[in-house]
Amino acid sequence: MPPPLMPNFNNSVKLKYVKLGYQYLINHFLTFTLLPITLTLLLQLRYSPDEYLRLWNSLRFDFVHVLCSAFLIIMISTTYFTSKSHSVYLVNYACFKPPRACRAPFSTFMEHSKLILNSEPKSVDFQMKILERSGLGEETCLPIAIHFIPPSPTLEASGGEAELVIFSAMDSLFEKTGIKPNDVHILIVNCSLFSPTPSLSAMVINKYKMRGNVKSYNLSGMGCSAGLISIDLARDLLQVHKNSNAIVVSTEIITPNYYQGKERSMLVPNCLFRMGGAAVLLSNRRTFRTQAKYRLLHVVRTQKGADDKAFRCVYEEEDREGKVGISLSKDLMAIAGVALKSNITTLGPLVLPTSEQLLFLISLISRKIFNPKGKPYIPDFKQAFEHFCIHAGGRAVIDELQKNLQLSAEHVEASRMTLHRFGNTSSSSLWYELSYIEAKGRMKRGDRVWQIAFGSGFKCNSAVWKCMSSVETMGNNGPWDDCIDRYPVYIPEVVKL
Amino acid sequence: MDSLIIVVLVLPVAYSLFQLCKLIQQRRIQCCYIMHYECFKPSNDRKLTTEFSGDIIMRNKNLGNEQYKFLLRAIVNSGLGEETYGPRNIITGREESPTIADGISEMDEFFISTLDNLFHKSGVSPREIDILVVNVSMLASVPSLTSRIVNHYKMREDIKAFNLSGMGCSASIISIDIVQNIFKSCKNSFAIVLTSESIAPNWYTGSEKSMILTNCLFRSGGCSILLTNNKAMKKRSAFSLKCLIRTHLGAMDEAHSCCKQQEDDHGHLGFFLSKSLTKSASKAFAENLRDLAPRVLPLRELVRYILLNSVTNFVQRYSKVSKKVSLNFKTGVDHFCLHPGGTAVIDGIRKSLELSEKDVEPSRMTLHRFGNTSASSLWYVLGYMEAKNRLKKGDRVLMIGFGSGFKCNSCLWEVLRDLGGGNVWGDSIGNYPPKTLVNPFLEKFGWVYEDN
């Protein structure tokens, strides 16, 4: 019996080198064309030193000439410098580390479920099935008011959770960056489902005694992608206000939104959402240039609300008994895919190298002319980014994105591990993921990070950051400090409870 | 030697040229125009008369006789008229158990009516809108109100939407602040600001005295505003933004806790107003004016103030005459749009700015006709001035709003063309100002003043 044919490695290796060669050629096209031309020109213009001296002496310096040329140079440089957008630096950020007392391991969660939903065993089973496949670990945390049986979501308890999460994150941020609360010019707080009066931003200003002309904004209702919307707003504001510091606080307050009914589509958020928060310091001051960790390159926002199905896929409503909860529709994944495609269509030309864009263009033309049913070419985003932070919305979201963007397991590791350790912390999950990548020592200077988040409405927002200085792993004082050695963890498809 | 002289002469010229170019660049991106604004007038079946308000209060089983009298006194003295509007669930008797649908339908009714009118009158299509800012203080829904509007009007995918909440009665000026800042980065864009308040789910059903006043003052209303920074639209625009000042007194504990949302001892959710509200408001107002005065008043007024102040201080050292010198804001401002938070607020501002009764008439009439519609009330006041044909080209209008936190925000608008004509005030403008603002039910409810 002849030995089984070995797969033909030669061809695939040759293909790899062809691809590399093509990329190198296209991305450095200008160098390859201009270099020979410049060299030949230089060879032609070989003058002797005497000739250069004669050239210099023949120039005349007339006062009018000098004035005109100086005026021209100044006008051009002023126009250039004032129309250039200010760089926005991420100086540092801090994530909230929930206290151990708030842990909600599977056993606690299921026991609570059984006690609260004792009349509906089917709903309890449904919750267990969701939890088994969720990708969450045993160390995720729920706020104290939810640990009560039955949960007691009073306004005071919600305020207490908000104070705990936001103030710890901000204390940590002030400590890490060394700035004083008085030095903050812009404050943006985003929390989707809890919006008391006075606002959370006023609460922060009161606690830290910030200055009287601080520009504060309190965004709410904008879902899990609200963190990137706040970053977008901060960036626009920092273009207008020079030499300013902006703090963005992203969180989600779970206490008032725990669903206490039995409708199945509304029980899913209970299993996924956990306590978390992050505070980020952005600045456009030049003094922070050496100290800053990242520089913001792009923010792209996509709003798919015009489509009715997309609008209704994450919806807050009352169930038949009048209990308030958030219902997730069954076509959530499909809608997320469409929103993602729109977003990367805008983002692609901004970040992809020329080689990928050319390939995409060629495939588009060939599909239009030759083969309309051909598969669209998905540009290789691994060429544009070194790290990916995908919002840890749930296991299905991460799987879907990994498949669509053809990412490897290492690329989505940060998202999966964040989902395991902290759960879905809504708008702040992107910062936990970034913290994971830093804690693992993978962040090097010059690396580009792509943060992508989805939210109700339906929105898909991306932000692109560039690392300015290699981040040290020790003494980072992040939320992963005590457990990074245990990660990555293998998460089975189904955890048997 | 020659070259040295040339260099010495060129440097200052070069520097001044640099500053000139920078100034020109700054001026080019400064504009923010209001093309049109549309205030919301709810349908007639939502009117709340004093008598009806009395009936609603009587329905609350938690109130004792004392609180009942207190409330009726408050309603009679509130300055509200007989034509203010309330939300549907309160009128149909369901104020104790509002559903999410009540809150959302209240907002839907508001924005569909005003935005349809706005798009129709301005000729701008929803797909041309680049920025959308919604501020409703006491409602946070998923998906946000901005998403609802994008869905209803099928707006573009790359729209910049922001949903502010919790920011109190001065939030419309904060929304204008966001739009103004984003305009500096985005050229030739259109923005819509929607400002309103959610009354339906926030009716207080308890009996705490400090929390029950809000039931008497807040009424339904809202406003949609279309803004642009396209210079070509200047001819079609009504107002141009001159300056905007924000002051936040949250650092002071007393100011921060003077109006906040909380649960009372029995767990009823309501809005607590403390007795130090007026003190915090005046402090915030003073600080805001301090930043506002140099940008709004002409130079001679500032010089006069400084000179007079120093002279008075000098004189005061030798004689006991104490005369207060104050800035005359009427030199830089032609019309005042004051937040109609209540008769006390209007009287307070009137006294501190030394305004005449005619200056505060628009605010008083708005309070009478529409009640305190929270963040959108400033736009009803502006509408009153427009309906009375008082706004002429070149006039300057000062808007002042107060909000929880404690904030005081103000902004100055310049009128770009003579304004007038029909708006939300419609036909009832002929009835204003009325001969008397005294509540017609004073005799009927006069017994509330007797102590028994």
Look at B25 and A457 and tell me if their CB atoms are within 8 Å. no
Question: What average pLDDT does the segment B341-360 reach?
Answer: 88
Look at B146 and A221 and tell me if their CB atoms are within 8 Å. yes
Is residue A305 within 8 angstroms of chain B, CB to CB? yes
Question: What average pLDDT does the segment B37-55 reach?
Answer: 87
pLDDT band at B121 (very low <50, low <70, confident <90, very high): very high
**Residue by residue, what is the 3-state secondary structure of B221-271?**
CEEEEEEECCHHHHHHCCEEEEEEEEEECCCCHHHHCCEEEEECCCCCEEE
Q: How many CB atoms lie within 10 A of CB B62?
A: 15
Is residue A318 within 8 angstroms of chain B, CB to CB? yes
* Closest CA of chain A from B244, distance in Å: 11
Mutate to test the interface with B, among A189, A218, A327 (most CBs of B within 10 A): A218
Mutate to test the interface with B, among A206, A427, A460 (most CBs of B within 10 A): A206
The two beta strands, A276-283 and A245-252, are antiparallel
Provide the terminal-to-terminal Cα distance of chain A, rounded to the nearest Å.
48
Closest partner residue to A457 (CB to CB) among B147, B181, B271 is B147
**A210 contacts in B (CB within 8 Å)?**
248, 250-251
Is residue A200 within 8 angstroms of chain B, CB to CB? yes
Closest partner residue to A316 (CB to CB) among B100, B245, B253 is B100
pLDDT band at A416 (very low <50, low <70, confident <90, very high): very high
What is the largest distance, in Å, between two alpha-carbon atoms of chain B? 100
* Closest CA of chain B from A237, distance in Å: 6
pLDDT at B94: 82
The string of pLDDT tens digits covering residues A122-173 is 888 998 999 988 889 999 999 999 898 888 888 889 999 999 999 999 999 9
Contact A206, B253 (CB under 8 A): yes
pLDDT at A87 over 80: yes
| Peptide bond preceding A196 in cis form (omega within 30 of 0) | no
pLDDT at B140: 85
Average pLDDT, chain B: 86
CA distance A351 to A381: 9
Q: How many CB atoms lie within 10 A of CB A321?
A: 9
pLDDT at A12 over 70: no
Closest CA to A198 of A162, A223, A169, A164: A162
Closest CA to A272 of A165, A389, A158, A135: A135
Interchain CB contacts (distance < 8 Å): A and B: 238
ipTM exceeds 0.95, yes or no: no
- Segment 123-142 of chain A within 8 Å of chain B by CB: none
Question: What average pLDDT does the segment A333-342 reach?
Answer: 88
Is residue A64 within 8 angstroms of chain B, CB to CB? no
Instruction: Name the residue in chain B with its Cα closest to that of A76.
Output: B21
pLDDT at A21: 81
Average pLDDT, chain A: 87
Q: Which amino acid is it at A217?
A: Y
Task: Write the DSSP symbol of residue B142.
Answer: S
The proportion of chain B whose per-residue pLDDT surpasses 90, expressed as a percent, equals 38
Question: What average pLDDT does the segment A79-87 reach?
Answer: 78
Inter-axis angle of helices B357-370 and B343-353, nearest 10: 170
pLDDT band at B452 (very low <50, low <70, confident <90, very high): very low
pLDDT at B451 over 70: no
How large is the C-alpha radius of gyration of chain A? 27
pLDDT at A26: 82
Look at A236 and B182 and tell me if their CB atoms are within 8 Å. yes
- Segment 342-371 of chain A within 8 Å of chain B by CB: 342, 346
The string of pLDDT tens digits covering residues A92-115 is 999 999 999 999 999 999 998 888
pLDDT at A306: 87
The two beta strands, B129-136 and B190-196, are parallel
Question: What average pLDDT does the segment B247-262 reach?
Answer: 89
Q: How far is the CA of A42 from the CAs of A35, A36, A47, A249, B100, in angstroms?
A: 11, 10, 10, 56, 76
- Segment 402-441 of chain A within 8 Å of chain B by CB: none
Mutate to test the interface with B, among A61, A190, A197 (most CBs of B within 10 A): A197
pLDDT at A236 over 90: yes
pLDDT at B158 over 80: yes
What is the largest distance, in Å, between two alpha-carbon atoms of chain A? 101
Inter-axis angle of helices B171-183 and A226-240, nearest 10: 70
**Higher-pLDDT residue of A37, A231:** A231
pLDDT at B375 over 60: yes
Look at B10 and A66 and tell me if their CB atoms are within 8 Å. yes
pLDDT band at A387 (very low <50, low <70, confident <90, very high): very high
CA distance A213 to B275: 25
pLDDT at B450 over 80: no
**Higher-pLDDT residue of A40, A94:** A94
Q: Which residues of B are catalytic?
A: 169, 248, 335, 339, 368, 372
Does residue B134 come out as left (phi exceeding 0), alpha (psi in the -120 to 50 range) or beta?
Answer: beta
Mutate to test the interface with A, among B104, B147, B162 (most CBs of A within 10 A): B147
**Higher-pLDDT residue of B17, A206:** A206
**B405 contacts in A (CB within 8 Å)?**
198-199, 202, 205
Contact B179, B243 (CB under 8 A): no
| Strand partners for B223 | B39, B195
Angle at B332 between CA B326 and CA B337, to 5 degrees: 90
Instruction: Name the residue in chain B with its Cα closest to that of A227.
Output: B162
Closest CA to B183 of B21, B394, B335, B29: B29
**B16 contacts in A (CB within 8 Å)?**
none
Highest mean pLDDT among A122-126, A382-386, B378-382: B378-382
| Peptide bond preceding A4 in cis form (omega within 30 of 0) | no
Is residue A82 within 8 angstroms of chain B, CB to CB? yes
Closest partner residue to A215 (CB to CB) among B3, B10, B246 is B246
pLDDT at B442 over 70: no
The proportion of chain B whose per-residue pLDDT surpasses 70, expressed as a percent, equals 94
The string of pLDDT tens digits covering residues B191-235 is 999 999 998 888 888 888 888 888 888 899 999 999 999 989 899
Look at A232 and B160 and tell me if their CB atoms are within 8 Å. yes
**B14 contacts in A (CB within 8 Å)?**
70-71, 74
- Segment 202-231 of chain A within 8 Å of chain B by CB: 202-203, 205-206, 208-223, 229
The proportion of chain A whose per-residue pLDDT surpasses 70, expressed as a percent, equals 96
Is residue A76 within 8 angstroms of chain B, CB to CB? no
Contact A449, A385 (CB under 8 A): yes
pLDDT at A7 over 80: no
**Residue by residue, what is the 3-state secondary structure of A377-427?**
CCCCHHHCCCEEEECCCCHHHHHHHHHHHCCCCCCCHHHHHHHHHHCECHH
pLDDT band at A372 (very low <50, low <70, confident <90, very high): confident
Closest partner residue to B165 (CB to CB) among A212, A218, A314 is A218
pLDDT at A40: 86
Write down the pTM of the prediction. Answer: 0.88
* Closest CA of chain B from A383, distance in Å: 25
pLDDT band at B142 (very low <50, low <70, confident <90, very high): confident
pLDDT at B183: 92
